[in-house]
Amino acid sequence: MLLIYTHKITNRLRYIFEFIFKEQLGTEFAITLEREVFEEHDGMKLNYSYRRFGDELFFYATTILFERGIKEQNIRIGRFEGVPTFFLSSSNSDMPFDVFAASFYLLTRYEEYLPKRPKDKFGRYPAKASLAYQQHFLQQPLVDIWIQKLCAILKIYNPEWQPQKMPYKYLPTFDIDIAYAYYCKGVLRNLGGYLFALKNLNFKEIARRTKVLSGFQKDPYDTFDWINELRKKHQLEPVFFFLVGDYGAYDKNISLDNLTFQDLIQSIGDYSQVGIHPSFESNKQVRILSREIDRLSEVLKKEITRSRQHYLKLDLPQTYQNLIEMDVQKDYTMGYASQIGFRASTAASFYFYDLTLEIKTNLKLYPFMAMDVTLRHYMKLNERASIEAVKMLIKSTKAVDGLFVTLWHNHTLSDTHGWEGWREVYQEIVEIAVTGETDIADNPFQFQPLEKEEDKTQKKDTDEELGTQEIILG
């Protein structure tokens, strides 16, 4: 067992030690305030305080883990063995920065609590405002890299110690915002789709809608059998998130009153985990969230314990506090809409620490690294560039034995409405992600913009396009 000496025990300190040593390295630990107890301990130990006692393993402690409340932090970036660091420490520390404080800052998303934090038009914290983006480590699981370096130092002092790290794994996830393009939409919505297509002289769209509604062609967004075949081929364990909120400007799925939609949810629930995709409106009111969870629970005849926010609307800490109130145990929202990478600088799942209440909660967060609409619409990558970008993330995740999570949508696998060729993109990503083996060197990211002429005039955000897509599709 590892014994840790410190001058003060706080919830913050316990939280980050539990994450690093217990959850990531499989090592039990105890904390003591008694110098004598620490010095007499014959086993593995480290000193996390303001001063070294002798020749023990020593990490200089900065102040953030011993504070309460949220305030601007003095962030100065350094380098340690080629990677960025901050919360730089004294010269006699075994690492030139406070790895525990810095990990806590990134993992808790401390910067997203600050009073002057920016928001985009959907109320989300923008990727470009983050320290990770501005200091060019968003595509690195920096916390996990630091932990690897910490392990190397611990091994020097304790050669017999063997950390117990979970192996690399791939987890595919899907948001079902629009289950069908035409099917189960009802007379009025399909009529609106016909009129819109006619106004734009889009006769191909009219013909496709007619064939689907007449039963001569499968709905293009009904890609669920294909997804299931891929699941069986690679023995995957995907998680599906269904939008079941009331119809609105940003919530445009099939009505849950539709029996076909219910059958779809139940059939997917037979072979995969299913969670709630809380509507855009539910982010404002807990009662709406509660109603949507109850709806999905009634269809599946089981408790709903998983969630991912529609539009990735994450407002800390309120969003997670609402989920905790609804007994949600796992959330998969931790990622950016506009950039791929590691929002919390880790490729591991971790428990949400509520900085406003200063407590570790029971809500476990599963960060995702790449989303289809991020690649195509926000970052303007073509198909090959998207695959190469994701391969870099897979390589980075595999290097730290992390959990690689993708976020995809059923409709982006349809080979229609601008997503032609993206089924092959996803299939190639899955085949690489399953093993984590890539054929790329350690080159920096080099993204290339889309070359298709029609994309050069595409100025709206993906979310706006998805919001207006129902006008086109009905």
Contact 132, 102 (CB under 8 A): no
Say yes or no to pLDDT of 465 above 50: no
Say yes or no to pLDDT of 182 above 60: yes
CATH code 3.20.20.370 region(s) in the chain: 169-181+219-473
Q: What tokens appear for 64 in the block? A: 């953030």
Beta-carbon contacts of residue 66 (< 8 Å; ≥ 6 apart): 8, 10, 12, 13
- Number of other CB atoms surrounding residue 1 within 10 Å: 11
Asked if CATH classification 3.20.20.370 holds for the domain at 169-181+219-473, the reply, yes or no, is yes
Average pLDDT score, the chain: 90
Say yes or no to pLDDT of 84 above 90: yes
- pLDDT digits 0-9 by tens, 215-273: 778 899 999 999 999 999 999 999 999 999 998 888 888 889 999 999 999 999 999 99
Cα–Cα separations (whole angstroms), residue 353 to 186, 237, 357, 442: 44, 27, 9, 33
- pLDDT digits 0-9 by tens, 406-422: 999 999 999 998 899 99
More confident call, 423 vs 281: 423
Count CA within 13 A, CB hemisphere, residue 4: 24
- Number of other CB atoms surrounding residue 98 within 10 Å: 25
- pLDDT digits 0-9 by tens, 358-368: 999 999 999 99
pTM of the model: 0.91
- pLDDT digits 0-9 by tens, 132-157: 999 999 999 999 999 999 999 999 99
Order of strands across the sheet that contains 45-49: 29-32, 2-5, 45-49, 58-60
Say yes or no to pLDDT of 72 above 70: yes
More confident call, 16 vs 473: 16
pLDDT reported for residue 82: 92
pLDDT reported for residue 217: 80
Question: What is the Cα 273 distance to its own chain's centre?
Answer: 17
Q: 198: part of which helix (H) or strand (E)?
A: helix 187-199
Distance, in Å, from the CA atom of 89 to the CA atom of 59, rounded to the nearest integer, reads 8
